[in-house]
């Protein structure tokens, strides 16, 4: 028994002596050699350690580490400190409490990611700290990166803190990059992500659910995007990241600008809540507020716009929309939907707008055509001017003043005054080549009974007065129209007839007409009434005529309409050098089966025009001089327009 105790004592003494010798050995210059020999058993031969040092009781310090990578590239670590679990439990394998690295340079990514993963799983470090790391791997470059990583049970999951001077990814630089995240596969929680991108400051909190992300909160400041996000090599990587975001709980944008083709916004401020990226604007349940110094849309400049709105399924509640445009101030509130606009009020003051771009004209006209309903509870326009030069049918109105109440201007895709009252006046109105000075209109509609009480259109030497009623409540829309006009330029009346004649003079016109306006066929079947046209001071210039303008006396022309059949009694024209007449009959339902003929003849020229076909025929009948060949032949010229 004494021998057993002696053996145990000698073994214990030998163990203590060996441990003491190992400890003393680790304090000498031979530590690096011993460490290298140990590492060669557990790692590849590509790792070389310059110095090592043991700190009692649980820390090993390695320095000047080099790691050989493929293609003879070298990764370096200035200092590596490994802290072991100081509470030894011989029943469990040795574990690593903490790993600290500093001065890390990885010019071609992690040398062997599989080996690193295997090492972490084997030693299960509780915390990994990296200081001053420069990293490059294909499209990703990071400079002066600080990293803290606390692995969880399922590596590589765990909590990660990242702080870098600059991260460069796929051509985009992200400065002062910081990220705090709890990484879990498919369920990552991003507690903080902040960086500077294109001189803008961005902060956000987000969470992952499978392949999609939700922005819990995001703040963007001083971001000014003047270059397109699309590059020659393909989309910006930022767009690929944005594609992953499916829901925005809250987004704030401050003092930021964005410029691209046909659109620019300057010094924008935006608040957006509960936005589903995968849904259309009409399927949102969201809140929006927006303001900016200016918005430029197709070279139309909107100054100081302010917008606040509640987006709900099927419609947008517009709480406020104010902006300055073309010296005018515009303000409105109301409700918008894909096919209906219902405004509580619309105020326009001092607008001076000239529409010159046909594309802008089309962009305004197209949504109005698609609109099924338009309602304005309170309309007020003051001292405003609009000039439309974008199409061949130029028109303008200046110093417009208008007031309307309970207006319904479009219903079932048909423009009319379906309800409400409207009064408007202007300094001038130019339409269809005719200019009216101080025009005025007053109209009202109740129970869809539209009544134009007064329409006065004073022109240079005359006046147009109109009174009308339309029953919009019936599908057939019966209507009646009374017109009294004096001093209308004759050229304005004849221009729509496409007659190859130049007219000077004026005409008086009276009309009492009625019919059905439900559709075009109803109108053609039902037109009834009379129209009297009394031209005077008429001068006419025929094509190819040897004489210039010639005086022509045209007696009063009476046009009668009966159930869509128009007829004009034979009316002879009087002139010293001209002869002519107008007469005919045409059924609007079958316009090709009849016509109203207009004829004029001089010594050399015969002219005729058939309406409403718009066909004109000109015959030149003068003989040629005797010294020309074929002097006795007739020359006939035809000119047709449809």
Q: What average pLDDT does the segment 301-326 reach?
A: 96
pLDDT tens-place string over residues 109-149: 776 566 666 666 666 788 889 999 988 888 889 988 999 99
The residues facing 563 across adjacent strands are none
Inside any domain, residue 565: yes
Check whether 628 has a pLDDT greater than 70: no
Q: What average pLDDT does the segment 567-571 reach?
A: 91
DSSP state letters, 51-76: EEEEETTTEEEEEEEEEE-GGG-EEE
Q: Please tell me which residue, 32 or 564, carries the higher pLDDT value.
A: 564
**640 — pLDDT class (breaks 50, 70, 90):** very low
Residue 310 has what pLDDT? 97
Domain boundary, last residue among 169, 195, 216: 169
How many structural domains comprise the chain? 2
Q: Please tell me which residue, 30 or 589, carries the higher pLDDT value.
A: 589
Inside any domain, residue 519: yes
Inside any domain, residue 165: yes
Judge contact between 156 and 117, C-beta under 8 A: yes
**pLDDT > 70: what percent of the chain?**
84
Domain boundary, last residue among 135, 169, 203: 169
Inside any domain, residue 533: yes
Inside any domain, residue 99: yes
Check whether 642 has a pLDDT greater than 50: no
Q: What average pLDDT does the segment 347-362 reach?
A: 92
Q: Please tell me which residue, 591 or 253, carries the higher pLDDT value.
A: 253
pLDDT tens-place string over residues 170-215: 888 899 999 999 999 889 999 999 999 988 999 999 999 998 999 9
For residue 54, the enclosing domain spans: 22-169
Q: Give me the sign of the Cα torsion angle 290, 293, 297, 301.
A: positive
Nearest to 498 by CA among 609, 636, 399: 609
Domain boundary, last residue among 113, 136, 169: 169
Judge contact between 618 and 639, C-beta under 8 A: yes
Inside any domain, residue 528: yes
> 31-42 and 2-26 helices cross at what angle (nearest 10)?
100
Q: What average pLDDT does the segment 218-246 reach?
A: 77
Residue 385 has what pLDDT? 97
Residue 65 has what pLDDT? 83
pLDDT tens-place string over residues 258-275: 988 889 999 999 999 999
Q: Please tell me which residue, 38 or 630, carries the higher pLDDT value.
A: 38
Check whether 38 has a pLDDT greater than 70: no
Check whether 26 has a pLDDT greater than 70: no
Distance CA 155, CA 118 (A): 10
Inside any domain, residue 242: no
Residue 169 has what pLDDT? 87
Residue 367 phi, psi dihedral angles, 5° rounding = -65, -30
The two tokens of residue 494 are 């004849």
Measure the N-to-C terminal CA separation of the chain; round to a whole number of Å. 133
Q: How far is CA 262 from CA 245, 301, 305, 389, in A?
A: 26, 11, 18, 20
Q: State which H helix or E strand residue 528 sits in.
A: strand 528-541
pLDDT tens-place string over residues 516-528: 999 999 999 999 9
Distance CA 307, CA 320 (A): 5
pLDDT tens-place string over residues 414-469: 999 999 999 999 999 998 778 899 999 999 999 999 999 999 999 888 899 999 99
Inside any domain, residue 418: no
Residue 339 has what pLDDT? 92
Q: What average pLDDT does the segment 479-484 reach?
A: 96
Q: What average pLDDT does the segment 596-625 reach?
A: 78
Check whether 297 has a pLDDT greater than 80: yes
Q: How far is CA 583 from CA 50, 539, 573, 595, in A?
A: 115, 20, 11, 9
Nearest to 429 by CA among 388, 376, 390: 388
């Amino acid at each position: 028994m004494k021998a057993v105790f002696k053996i145990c004592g000698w073994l214990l003494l030998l163990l203590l002596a060996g441990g003491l010798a190992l400890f003393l050995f680790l304090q000498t210059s031979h530590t690096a050699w011993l460490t290298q020999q140990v590492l060669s058993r557990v790692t590849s031969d590509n790792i070389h350690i310059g110095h090592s040092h043991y700190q009692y009781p649980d820390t090993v310090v390695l320095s000047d580490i080099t790691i050989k990578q493929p293609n003879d590239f070298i990764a370096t670590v200035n200092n590596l400190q490994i802290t072991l679990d100081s509470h030894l439990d011989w029943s469990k394998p040795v574990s690593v409490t903490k790993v600290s690295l500093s001065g890390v340079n990885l010019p071609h990514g992690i040398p062997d990611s599989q080996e690193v993963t295997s090492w972490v799983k084997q030693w299960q470090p509780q915390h990994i700290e990296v200081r001053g790391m420069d990293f490059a791997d294909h499209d990703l470059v990071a400079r002066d990166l600080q990293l803290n990583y606390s692995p969880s049970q399922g590596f590589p999951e765990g909590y990660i803190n990242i702080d870098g001077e600059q991260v460069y990814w796929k051509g985009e630089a992200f400065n002062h990059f910081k990220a705090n995240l709890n990484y879990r596969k498919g369920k990552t929680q991003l507690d903080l992500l902040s960086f500077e991108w294109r001189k803008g400051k961005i902060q956000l909190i987000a969470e992952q659910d499978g392949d999609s992300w939700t922005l819990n909160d995001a703040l963007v400041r001083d971001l000014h995007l003047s270059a397109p996000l699309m590059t020659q090599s393909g989309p910006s990587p930022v767009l690929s990241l944005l594609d992953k975001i499916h829901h925005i709980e809250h987004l704030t944008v401050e003092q930021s600008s964005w410029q691209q083709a046909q659109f620019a916004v300057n010094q924008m401020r935006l608040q957006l809540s509960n936005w589903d990226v995968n849904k259309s604007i009409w399927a949102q349940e969201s809140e929006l507020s927006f303001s900016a110094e200016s918005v430029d849309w197709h070279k139309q400049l909107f100054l100081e716009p302010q917008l606040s709105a509640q987006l709900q399924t099927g419609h947008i509640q517009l709480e406020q929309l104010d902006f300055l445009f073309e010296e005018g101030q515009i303000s409105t509130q109301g409700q918008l939907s894909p096919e209906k606009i219902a405004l509580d009020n619309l105020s326009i003051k001092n607008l001076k707008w000239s529409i010159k771009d046909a594309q802008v004209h089309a962009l305004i006209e197209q949504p109005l055509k698609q609109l099924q309903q338009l309602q304005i509870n309170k309309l007020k326009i003051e001292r405003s001017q609009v000039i439309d030069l974008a199409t061949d049918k130029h028109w303008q109105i200046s110093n417009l003043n208008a007031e309307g109440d309970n207006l319904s201007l479009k219903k079932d895709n048909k423009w009319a005054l379906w309800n409400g009252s409207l009064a408007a006046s202007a300094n001038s109105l130019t339409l269809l080549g005719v200019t009216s000075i101080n025009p005025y209109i007053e109209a009202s509609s109740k129970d869809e009974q539209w009544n134009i009480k007064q329409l006065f259109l004073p022109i240079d030497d005359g006046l147009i007065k109109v009174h009308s009623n339309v029953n919009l409540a019936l599908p057939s829309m019966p209507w009646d129209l009374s017109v009294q006009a004096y001093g209308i330029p004759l050229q304005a009346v004849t221009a729509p007839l496409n007659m190859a004649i130049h007219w000077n003079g004026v005409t008086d016109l009276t009309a009492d007409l009625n019919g059905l306006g439900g559709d075009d066929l109803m109108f053609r079947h039902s037109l009834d009434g009379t129209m009297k046209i009394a031209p005077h001071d008429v001068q006419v210039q025929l094509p190819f005529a040897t004489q210039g303008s010639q005086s022509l006396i045209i007696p009063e022309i009476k046009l009668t309409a009966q159930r869509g059949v128009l007829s004009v009694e034979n009316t002879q024209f009087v002139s010293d050098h001209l002869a002519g007449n107008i007469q005919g009959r045409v059924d609007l339902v079958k316009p090709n089966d009849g016509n109203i003929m207009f004829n004029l003849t001089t010594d050399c020229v015969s002219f005729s025009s058939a309406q409403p076909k718009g066909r004109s025929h000109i015959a030149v009948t003068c003989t040629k001089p005797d010294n020309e060949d074929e002097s006795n032949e007739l020359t006939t010229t035809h000119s047709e327009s449809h």
